[in-house]
């Protein structure tokens, strides 16, 4: 078939392998999908493939492939490619957070929030705001984090918001445990 079909087939076969616990076998398919998509100008599939490569690798690979996905998506005029900015920034932020790179993580989470606002996705915006507040707490910016979590608490019940509020108000015993 066409490069579009070939890229989709490689990408989806890779997803099946990854979901089946065979991430190592999925890697070559994701790389093939990336190469085919880039060669054919299908930036949305290229960003998706780079994103998939990021979620199957170790921390160094996650960062390398996530930055490649952001490079592709961020430079694209295609809204289907640009939709990857938010999820990739979020995922990379958590990777960096786990490495103790909290300032960088917060920067990425703020970028994800902006992408979700631009996209007009209220649920993703809510989660991204929680994540930004989580990053602020990690950096000791408690009042800023508290203001965001208190505003989120006016919405639907959310145990993650409740846990963060308890931690921010000094009622929690193990800071850093809450993650969506």
Per residue in 73-125, pLDDT (tens digit) is 999 999 999 999 999 999 999 999 999 999 999 999 999 999 999 999 999 99
How far is it, in rounded angstroms, from Cα 67 to Cα 89?
A: 9
Nearest of 28, 89, 29, 24 to residue 63 by alpha carbon: 89
pTM here? 0.89
Nearest of 69, 43, 59, 57 to residue 14 by alpha carbon: 57
> Cα(first)–Cα(last) distance of the chain, in Å?
40
Q: Torsions phi, psi of 171, nearest 5? A: -90, -15
């Amino acid at each position: 078939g066409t490069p579009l079909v070939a890229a989709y087939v490689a990408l989806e076969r890779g997803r099946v392998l990854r979901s089946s616990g065979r991430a190592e076998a999925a890697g070559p398919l994701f790389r093939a999908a990336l190469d085919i998509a880039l060669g054919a100008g299908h930036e949305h599939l290229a960003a998706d493939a780079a994103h998939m490569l990021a979620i199957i690798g170790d921390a160094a690979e996650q960062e390398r492939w996530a930055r490649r996905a952001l490079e592709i998506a961020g430079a694209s005029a295609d809204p289907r490619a640009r939709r990857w900015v938010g999820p990739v920034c979020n995922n990379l932020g958590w990777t960096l957070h786990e490495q103790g790179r909290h300032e960088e993580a917060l920067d990425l989470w703020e970028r994800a929030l902006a992408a979700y606002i631009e996209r007009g996705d209220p649920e993703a915006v809510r989660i991204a705001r929680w994540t930004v507040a989580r990053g602020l707490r990690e950096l000791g910016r408690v009042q800023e984090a508290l203001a965001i979590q208190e505003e989120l608490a006016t919405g639907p019940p959310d145990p993650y918001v409740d846990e963060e509020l308890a931690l921010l108000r000094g009622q929690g015993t193990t800071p850093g445990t809450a993650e969506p």
